[in-house]
Amino acid sequence: MSDEPLKTEQLLAQAAAGDGAAWGSLLTAEQERLIRMVAFRMDPRLRGRIDAADVVQEARLATVWARCALEIIYLAKQFAK
């Protein structure tokens, strides 16, 4: 049995607790697989103009911004108490 699911669960728990390094590890752990998946699903007409790695990078950036927004909301609620 692989330790990979256990490691992922640990990283998820650490990231949920606010560990930025764990968050980064989660985002990079599957990057190559995500790039291959996006490239496979991308419309052939787009493949020549858009790189699958760019799509994954944009999605990754969106998750970072969403995480920051959630942290700001959480801190604002804590401050308002």
Q: How many domains, in total, are found in the chain?
A: 1
CB proximity list for 21: less than 8 A, separation 6 or greater: 14
Specify the pLDDT at position 11: 87
- Mean pLDDT of all residues belonging to the chain: 86
User: Residue 68's domain spans which residues?
Assistant: 4-80
**CA–CA separation, 23 and 53 (whole Å):** 19
CA 11 to each of CA 22, 40, 52, 76: distance values in angstroms, whole numbers, following the listed order = 5, 27, 25, 26
Q: How confident is the model over 27-71, as pLDDT tens digits?
A: 888 888 899 999 999 999 998 899 999 999 999 889 888 888 888
Task: State both tokens at 52.
Answer: 């699958």
Whole-prediction pTM: 0.67
Pair of tokens at residue 29: 């752990």
In this prediction, residue 2 carries a pLDDT of 61
